[in-house]
Amino acid sequence: MCLAIPAEVEEVNFPIAIVNFGGTRKEVRIDLLPDVRVGDYVLVHVGYAIQKVDVKEVEELAAIYQKLQEEGIL
Amino acid sequence: MNKKELISKISEKIHEEAKDAGKIKIMHLCGTHEDTITKYNLRSLLPDNIKLLSGPGCPVCIIPDEDLQKVFHLIEKENIIFTTFGDMARVPHNGKSLFYYKAKGYDIRIVYSIFDAIKIARNSSRTVVHFGIGFETTMPSTALAILDAPENFCVFSSHRYFIPAMEHLISLGVEVNGFINPGHVSTITGIKAYEKIKKYGIPQIISGFEPEDVMLSILKLIKAIKRGDAEVFNEYTRAVTYDGNVMAQKVMDDVFSVDDWEWRGLGVVPRSGAVIKEEYSEFDVVKVFEDAFSDFVPVEDKAKKACRCGDVLRGIITPLDCPLFNKRCTPKDPVGACMVSFEGTCNIWAKFGVERN
Ligand code: SF4
Ligand code: SF4
C-alpha cells in the first residue's frame, strides 16, 4: 500500500513531472518535492513523488560492499 | 561480487554474531518488508535463535471492520461516486466488499492516486467520496488533495499514524528485541520521529526493501542488541534523512488532527487516528453526510470468528497457525484482511507457497 518505486525525472512542469520507471513514462505530482530537477531520481507513491533517492548508492554493489568493509560490518 | 554473494556474506556474518546472542526476536513493521523476506526466503538464511516476526505494517489490514461497514452504509444510502485503492476493494465483511457493491451497480471506482479521484469530481456534478487509507506515506497526498479539492469532493479518513502504533505494541507486551522500521513511512517522518520510542530500550533500524537491505539491517540489529544499544539506526540512507520530508509533514499537520482510533488486532491506539480538522469539515465525509451516519450500527462478521488476523498483526502467530490458512481462506476467496492485501502477511505467505515443513 505504501510501496514507493524509484523513477527518473525527465520533465518538470510544476506541480507535475514526467518520470520514467525503467521504460514506462508517467505523470506524477511533485508538490511535496518542489526542488526536483530533471535527472533526479525520486520515490513515487500513489502518484506523488515523496522523496529523492541517491541512485548511486542503489546501483553499485561494489560501492556498498566497500562501504560495509570500511564500517567494519563485513 | 553479485547480489547473491553479498547476501550470503551477510548471512555468514549473522551466523557468527548470533552464536553467543541467545534468543532474539526481531519484528519488522511493513508489508513490503514481509514481501522481500518471504520472496527471497530470508528466514532460511538466519540461525535458529534469530526469529523474524511480522507486525501491523499493512494499512489495508489494520483498518477495522467498523470503518468498512460505515463505507458500505454510506454507499447504500447516498447517490455518490466512491473512489478507492484496489486492495481495499476486496476486503470482505459479512459477505460484502466494495467489489460486491461495484458488481451490484453502485458507482465504485478504483483509482491509482487521489489525484484521479479529484479529476473524477471535477468532471461530475455528483459527490465523490474517496477512501483515505494509508499511513504517513499516503497521508500527505490526501492532505494536498483536500487543500485543492472542488466542492463536490470529500474524504472518508481511515488514515492512521504509524509511529504511535509502535509504542502501543510495546505497551501490549509484545516481546521484541529489535524493530525493523518501515522505510517509506520514514521517508516522510524522518529518523527523528522514532526518538521518543528509544526510551523503551529496543534498538530500531530503518531499512530499505532489497534483500541485502533487510539482511544488513538484521546484522546491525543483532550487534546493537548484544551491545545493549537502543539507538535508531538508518540503513535506508539513500532515501531517508534525519528530518524527513518536512513539507509533507507540514501539509499533514495543516489538514489533520489526532484522535484515539481503533486498529484491527491492536484495539484503540492513542493518538493514531487522522481526523480532518474542523476548518476543512466541508471535505470530511463524517460531517458532510452526518445524517446518513446517524442510524449506523456496527455488526459482527460471523465468518471471521475463526480468523486470526489480529494475532498475525501483533506477531503472536504466523499465518500457518491459523486453522483457516489456505483452506477456507485463500487469496482468491479471503476471509480476513491479511489474506486480501498484497502486503498482508497471509496473502504473501500463500502467494509464495510457504508451508509447514
Ligand atoms: S504502507 Fe508502507 S510501511 Fe506499510 S506495508 Fe506498505 S510499504 Fe510498508
Ligand atoms: S489465514 Fe485468513 S483467516 Fe487466517 S488469519 Fe490470515 S486472513 Fe485471517
Which tens digit of pLDDT belongs to each residue from B38-48?
999 999 999 99
Q: Is the pLDDT of residue B18 over 90?
A: yes
Superfamily of the domain at B1-351: HypD, alpha/beta domain 1 (3.40.50.11750)
CATH number at residue A33: 2.30.30.140
What number is the ipTM of this complex? 0.88
A3, B238: Cβ pair inside 8 Å?
A: no
Q: Which of residues 243-262 of B touch A (CB under 8 A)?
A: 245, 247-248, 251
Q: Which of residues 18-37 of A touch B (CB under 8 A)?
A: 29, 31-34
Query: What's the pTM?
Result: 0.93
Predicted pLDDT of residue B355:
85
- The pLDDT confidence band at residue A2, using thresholds 50, 70 and 90, is low
For chain B, percent of residues with pLDDT exceeding 90: 94
Name beta bridge partners: A12: A17
Give the C-alpha separation, B109 to B130, whole Å: 9
Under the banding of pLDDT at 50, 70 and 90, the label for residue A16 is very high
Domain that holds residue A53: 7-71
| Residue A21 lies inside a defined structural domain of this protein | yes
Indicate the pLDDT class of residue A1, thresholds 50, 70 and 90: low
On whether any CB of chain A is under 8 Å from the CB of B33, the answer is no
Q: Check pocket membership of B190 for ligand 1, CB cut-off 6 A.
A: no
Mutate to test the pocket of ligand 1, among A3, A44, A45, A51 (most ligand atoms within 8 A of CB): A3
In a domain, A17, yes or no: yes
Instruction: Domain count for chain A, please give it.
Output: 1
Query: From the CA of B30, which ligand is nearest?
Result: 1
Nearest-by-CA chain A residue for B88:
A1
Would A34 be classed as within a structural domain? yes
Q: Does residue A1 sit within a domain?
A: no
B1 contacts A2? CB cut-off 8 A: no
